[in-house]
């Protein structure tokens, strides 16, 4: 319980309002796949974030949805969010155009702990639009490649036209990049010559030092569930980082909705180690 | 010592003096029930000394059922300052601030609306005169009178003593100021008066011990998974009305929704209930708490598991409002009893 004196130390007349959003202009829109677009946003006031933290993005008058920026935290005047059309807010966002205004607030949560990854190999496993937050992480890992060991990306999507960031995938796959990339799709098409099958198929002969390395996973719940199961054969539970997603409304641990066991995903996550969450019943539901 | 005695009429004079420079809310008759009313709107009804907690949880004064929290594109700013006082809170109501303060006055993020109201509201509590048969504060670390001084003033009314016993919190500048201005209404409580207060308090505690001896409270609720049949049994009685959440003094869930008014958009904070099916639904339709069993469990897990694991105290004050309000006759104490039984098996 707080006393009046403790409350006074919070400068009651000049407190920040955490419910307030900053206007941001949509400065470019990239079609990534039939259901996914990347929006570049230029906020009225720059918003600094660390990789893996998330923001609340609003379509004014309709509502908000949480997204982890897919851009590099080193770019500070704009940020990018990659959004799959899944509900009301994302549906409306997909109908918006360059020059339109959205609202953003944040950043919130605990992102990827880069300091834990220093000097170690990093295996990044993504599924579908789950590559979005991972791209931000990959930007940070490759910005200072000497600080980290080998960086491997295993990425899977439903079909070739559902792979996102195609230009970057070409770069990363070219051999000139620090990233060792392997792709797969659930179902190929006539032009596809690569792997076919789920992303867990790519986790058998890993080129990273799994004893000293870390793994980072983001994707749909079912993909995360099976990927985690496979990774536990190689990695310590506390070295597997998972991006958990729940219904996040306020973003700062007050509204209650994003509970996950004893945690709130918005405040204690969205990035958790497998060790933190492994005993939670119905983890992947 | 900051304990005094005064007559009931002097105490009403004190309330009147407080109301002269603060908005004062007091318990008063409302069609046969006791509800908080603004002192200035009392009309024919008179101030009541509630026997135990009244139906309305005091969170309504700090975290109202609905409020505008921001506007877009330009934010109008935080809430207006308004000096208020609330009379009639009970010890369980005060202990609810332990939970709400943790939620809304976090170190990193502070809800300015809650913080300002908490600061600007004087809390005038009173001892329970007669415990309700659904009260169980004694089982969750409480007692039928305020022990930790979360109040500014506390009033004790006993059956065998005509005067009221009023305690001013020595750590509250506001309480001390009120005493200074109204000292002619009070005389120091002597040893005998204090003894009467202690005896009365003990008798209320004994009553609580007696009526709540049939169950134990335990954080082991965490160990009972959502698919345990005990949750199904309780869920069968639940009608998903959300009364347990809405009447609970510590339930703090809300949702934000936006409303367009001309060129401005307002964001509103509205009470939500984990009892409702859509509570944890995400975009695309996935819903981790789709089953009623999982939602019924969540409420108990939150109060006795999650909050305990994170903060070391229970999120339930034992006020029993959820028991009174439940249309399906779910008694939180029966759930706790079942938890103990399950864990022994």
Count chain A–chain B contacts defined by CB atoms under 8 A: 154
> CA of A93, closest CA in chain B: separation in Å?
13
* Residues in chain A closer than 8 A to B252 (CB atoms): 254-256
Report the residue count for chain B: 345
| Band (B31; pLDDT cuts 50, 70, 90) | confident
A91, closest residue in chain B (CA to CA): B283
DSSP B20-70: TTSEEEEEEEETTEEEEEEGGG-TT--B---SS--SS-GGGGTS-SEEEEE
pLDDT tens digits along A123-136: 999 999 999 999 99
**Residue B1 has what pLDDT?**
58
Global pTM value: 0.95
Using a CB-CB cut-off of 8 Å, the residues of chain B touching A90 are 283
Cα end-to-end span (Å), chain A: 35
CA pair distance B121, B22, nearest whole angstrom: 9
Strand partners, B70: B267
Chain B residues touching residue A245 (CB < 8 angstroms): 282
Burial of A65 (0-12, 13-18, 19+ CB in 10 A): buried
Contact A60 B118 (CB under 8 A): no
Strand B66-72 versus strand B264-271 pairing type: antiparallel
Cβ distance of B73 and A62 shorter than 8 Å? no
Q: CA geometry: angle at B12 spanning B8 and B13, to 5°?
A: 115
CA B251 to chain A, closest CA, distance in angstroms equals 9
Query: Cβ separation of A256 and B274 shorter than 8 Å?
Result: yes
Q: Are B218 and B340 in contact (CB under 8 A)?
A: yes
Distance (Å) from the alpha carbon of B281 to chain A's nearest alpha carbon = 6
State how far the Cα of A30 lies from the Cα of A28, in Å rounded to an integer: 7
- Maximum CA extent, chain B: 68
Percent of chain B whose pLDDT exceeds 70: 99
Nearest CA-CA distance, residue B237 and chain A, Å? 24
Centre a 10 Å sphere on the Cβ of residue A223 and count the other Cβ atoms it contains: 21
Give the whole-angstrom CA distance, residue B331 versus residue A59.
42
Please give the Cα distance from B182 to A254 (Å, whole number). Answer: 40
Low-confidence ranges of chain A (pLDDT < 50): none
Closest CA to A95 of A52, A59, A55, A48: A59
Distance CA(B53)–CA(B59), nearest Å, equals 13
Token duo for residue A121: 């190999």
State the Cα–Cα distance between residues A171 and A177, nearest whole angstrom.
7
Is A255–B255 a contact, with Cβ atoms under 8 angstroms apart? yes
The C-alpha atoms of residue A98 and residue A114 are separated, in whole angstroms, by: 33
φ, ψ for residue A139, nearest 5 deg: -60, -40
- Predicted confidence (pLDDT) per residue in A60-100, tens digit: 999 999 999 999 999 999 999 999 999 999 999 999 999 99
- Strand, helix or coil for residue B89: strand
B52 pLDDT higher than 80: yes
Q: Would you state the pLDDT for residue B337?
A: 93
Question: Which pairing describes strands B254-261 and B264-271: parallel, antiparallel, or unpaired?
Answer: antiparallel
pLDDT score, position B148: 76
Q: Which residues pair with A59 in a beta bridge?
A: A63
Radius of gyration of chain A (CA): 19
Considering only CB atoms, A7 lies closest to which of B94, B118, B288, namely B118
Q: How do strand B3-6 and strand B187-188 relate by DSSP bridges?
A: antiparallel
How far apart, in whole angstroms, are the C-alpha atoms of residue B307 and residue B284? 30
Min distance B192 CA to chain A CA atoms (Å)? 31
Residue B278 pairs in a beta bridge with: none
Backbone angles phi, psi at A39, to 5 degrees: -110, 130
Q: What is the pLDDT of residue A225?
A: 96
Residue pLDDT, tens place only, B216-247: 998 888 888 888 999 999 999 999 999 999 99
Is A12 in contact with B112 (Cβ distance < 8 A)? yes
Q: Do residue A254 and residue B104 have CB atoms under 8 angstroms apart?
A: yes
Contact A82, A129 (CB under 8 A): yes
Q: Do B258 and A255 touch (CB under 8 A)?
A: no
Q: Which residues of A touch B110 (CB under 8 A)?
A: 10, 15-16, 18
The whole-angstrom separation of Cα B10 and Cα B23 is 19
**Can you tell me the distance from the alpha carbon of B43 to that of B33, in angstroms, rounded to the nearest whole number?**
16
């Amino acid at each position: 319980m707080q006393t009046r004196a403790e409350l006074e130390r919070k400068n009651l007349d000049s407190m920040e309002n955490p419910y307030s959003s900053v206007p941001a202009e949509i400065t470019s829109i990239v079609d990534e796949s039939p259901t996914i677009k990347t929006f570049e946003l230029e906020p009225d006031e720059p918003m600094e974030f660390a990789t893996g933290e998330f923001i609340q993005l609003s379509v004014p008058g309709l509502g908000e949805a949480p997204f982890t920026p897919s851009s590099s935290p080193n770019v500070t005047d704009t940020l990018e969010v990659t959004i799959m059309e899944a509900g009301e807010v994302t549906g409306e966002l997909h109908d918006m155009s360059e020059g339109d205004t959205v609202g953003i607030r944040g950043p919130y949560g605990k992102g990827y702990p880069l300091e834990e990854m220093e000097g170690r190999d990093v295996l990044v496993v993504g599924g579908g639009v789950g590559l979005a937050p991972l791209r931000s992480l990959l930007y940070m890992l490759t910005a200072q490649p000497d600080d980290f060991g080998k960086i491997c990306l295993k990425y899977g999507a439903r079909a070739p036209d559902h792979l996102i960031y195609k230009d970057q995938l070409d770069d990363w796959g070219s051999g000139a990049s620090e990233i060792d990339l392997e792709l797969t799709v659930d179902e190929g098409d006539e032009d596809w010559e690569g792997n076919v099958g789920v992303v867990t198929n790519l986790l058998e002969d890993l080129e990273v030092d799994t004893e000293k390395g870390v793994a980072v996973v983001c994707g749909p719940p079912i993909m995360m569930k099976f990927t985690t199961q496979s990774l536990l054969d190689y990695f310590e539970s506390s070295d597997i980082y998972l991006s958990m997603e729940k219904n996040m409304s306020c973003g700062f641990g007050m509204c209650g909705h994003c509970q996950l066991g004893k945690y709130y995903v918005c405040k204690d996550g969205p990035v958790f180690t497998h060790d933190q969450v492994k005993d939670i019943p119905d983890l992947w539901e | 010592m900051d304990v005094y005695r005064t007559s009931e009429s002097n105490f009403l004079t004190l309330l009147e003096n407080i109301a002269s420079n603060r908005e004062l809310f007091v318990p008063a008759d409302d069609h046969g029930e006791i509800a908080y009313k603004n002192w200035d709107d009392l009309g024919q009804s008179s101030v009541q000394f509630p026997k135990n907690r009244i139906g309305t949880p005091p969170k309504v004064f700090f975290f109202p059922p609905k409020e505008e929290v921001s506007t877009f594109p330009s934010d109008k700013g935080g809430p207006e300052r308004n000096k208020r006082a609330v009379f009639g809170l009970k010890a369980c109501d005060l202990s609810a601030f332990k939970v709400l303060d943790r939620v809304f006055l976090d170190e990193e993020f502070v809800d300015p609306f809650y913080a300002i109201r908490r600061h600007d509201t004087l809390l005038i509590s009173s001892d329970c005169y007669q415990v309700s048969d659904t009260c169980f504060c004694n089982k969750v670390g409480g007692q039928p009178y305020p022990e930790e001084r979360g109040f500014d003033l506390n009033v004790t009314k006993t059956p065998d003593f005509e005067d009221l016993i009023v305690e001013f919190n020595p750590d509250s500048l506001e309480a001390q100021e009120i005493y200074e201005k109204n000292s002619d209404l009070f005389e120091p409580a002597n040893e005998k008066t204090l003894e009467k207060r202690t005896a009365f308090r003990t008798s209320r505690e004994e009553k609580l011990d007696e009526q709540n001896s049939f169950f134990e409270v335990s954080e082991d609720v965490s160990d009972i998974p959502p698919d345990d049949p005990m949750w199904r049994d309780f869920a069968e009685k639940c009608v998903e009305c959300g009364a347990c959440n809405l009447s609970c003094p510590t339930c703090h869930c809300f949702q934000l929704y936006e409303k367009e008014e001309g060129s401005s958009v307002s964001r509103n904070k509205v009470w939500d209930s984990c009892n409702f099916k859509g509570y944890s639904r995400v975009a695309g339709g996935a819903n981790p708490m789709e089953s009623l069993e999982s939602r019924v469990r969540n409420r108990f897990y939150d109060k006795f598991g999650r909050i305990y694991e994170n903060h070391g105290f229970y999120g339930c004050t034992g006020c029993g409002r959820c028991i009174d309000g439940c249309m399906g006759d779910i008694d939180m104490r029966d759930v706790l009893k079942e938890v103990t039984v399950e864990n022994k098996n």
